[in-house]
Structure 1
Amino acid sequence: MTQYDLDILASDRERSEAEERLRAAVENGRLPLTDLSARLDEVHASRTRGELEEACRGLPRPGPRDALVVDRPATSRGFVAGVFGGFERKGLWIVPPRMTVWSMWGGGKLDLSEARFSSQDTEIRAVALWGGTKIVVPEDIEVEVRGFGLFGVFGKRAARRIGKPGAPRVVIKGLALFGAVVTRSAVVTRGKG
């Protein structure tokens, strides 16, 4: 930011963004909880963008994947089906805590690579009957795959445990009968901050 940008009066939206930045820093272990109250007081007292930046000193700007678990309702229903057709969920969306996806004589794709989660733990029940479902998961979450393939395939390629504290956990379970449920990892591009 230039000096001119720092001297501009801060808006309410910019104060809210600074509050979220501080809360995310506490959640990610970058800022001790004991420092949060004083920093929030600085944000509320800030008149300019420069003062807001000072309140957030030492913290990176949030990237596109910094807050994976959000305190907002899901933007997709808990049941999605591709019967003699297909379905696709991708882009920025909020995953419900429990979701069931059916592929019956059809197919579908569930892409979680840009998604946010409404719960720390998410369960996806995938059923493929003479159909197929592809589930794409980002690399920065914990994934457990417990599905079963009977004359079909229930792929476990994306299953992994990671030690990062606070990472969302997704459990994918279900059945592939004369069909396939495949999982794969997507490389996540992080924003620069």
Structure 2
Amino acid sequence: MTDLSPRPDRELLVSDDERDRMAQRLREGLAQGRIEMAELDQRLAEVYRARTRAELELASRGLPEPGSRDALVVDERPTSRFALGVFSGFERDGQWVVPSTFTAWSMFGGGRIDLSEASFTGRETRVLAVALWGGTEIVVPDDVEVVVKGFGIFGLFGKHGRRPARPGAPRIVIRGVALFGAVVTKSKPPWRTPWR
């Protein structure tokens, strides 16, 4: 049940991003069969009329409270598709939108891909990581399914195998090769939406 008790943050004016997140949550409610199409239209109108967080929260009445990662798959343009470190490094982290396929090359350099705060464009995301005399670290949230299928030649392609996650969670498939280098995968607790 939506909490409508007085809280100072509920009187804050909402941003366009907050309206868009709520609209996405309502569309997911429709996809799950929790609300009907006519009701979706009515609630979306409430979302885009809302001025405060209290008014915005009213549009989600009757829907379960979102968990820390309930809106992982979004209908947005990817922020970045490729990362390259040649005699240098790269880093992708923070809140970014990952495409269905992301490619990372590190050659005589290194890089870090952090997916713990990321959103995804599909239920399955493929990461192709190639490390030639270099290294790449891939940080994955610990509430998604991860499959690692790469291999090392005089190198390390770490965390082999499959790690299951909560039902319905997105799937990240990491493939590639490490030649005289390393690609390592580690998990991290997922980022939480700050005002929920």
- Answer yes or no: same fold by TM over 0.5: yes
Aligned partners of 1:157 and 1:184 also within 8 Å? no
Q: Highest CA radius of gyration, 1 or 2?
A: 1
Write the deviation string for residues 69-101 of structure 1: whole angstroms up to 9, x where unpaired.
Answer: 11111111x321111110000001111111111
Distance 1:158 1:23, change over 3 A: farther
Q: CA RMSD in A?
A: 3.2
Distance 1:73 1:99 in 2: 13
For residue 186 of structure 2, what is the aligned residue in structure 1? 184
TM-score (norm 2): 0.77
Match of 2:174 in 1: 172
Aligned 1:1-193 pairs, distance under 5 A: 2=6, 18-27=22-31, 29=32, 32-44=33-45, 53-60=57-64, 62=66, 65-76=69-80, 78-156=81-159, 159-165=162-168, 167-191=169-193, 193=196
Q: In the TM superposition, what is the alpha-carbon distance from 1:51 to its structure 2 partner?
A: 6.6
Deviation at 1:16, TM superposition (A): 5.4
Superposition deviation, residue 119 in structure 1 = 2.0
Runs of 5+ in structure 1 lacking a partner? none
2:95 counterpart SS class: coil
Aligned length: 186
Q: Report the Cα distance in structure 2 between the residues aligned to 1:144 and 1:156, rounded to whole angstroms.
A: 9
Contact kept in structure 1, 2:117 and 2:191, CA below 8 Å: no
Retained in 1: the 8 A contact 2:142–2:189? yes
Cα-to-partner distance string for 1:143-193 (whole Å, 9 max, x where unaligned): 11000011111001684122412x211110010111100000011143474
Return the TM-score normalized by structure 1: 0.78
Q: Which amino acid aligns with 2:83?
A: V
Q: Aligned in 2, Cα 1:176/1:57: closer, same or farther, shift over 3 Å?
A: same
CA offsets per residue over residues 32-73 of structure 1, 9 Å max, x none? 345453254255368776675444223355566321111111
Using the TM superposition, give the Cα deviation of residue 12 of structure 1 relative to its aligned residue in structure 2, in angstroms: 10
Q: What fraction of aligned residue pairs are identical, expressed as a percent?
A: 50
Indicate the SS of the match to 2:163: coil
Separation (CA, whole Å) in 2 of partners of 1:111 and 1:3 = 33
Higher mean displacement: 17-26 or 175-184: 17-26
Question: Measured at CA, do residues 183 and 15 of structure 1 come closer, stay the same or move farther in structure 2, by a change above 3 Å?
Answer: closer
How far did 1:17 drift?
Answer: 5.3
Give 5+ residue unaligned stretches, structure 2: none
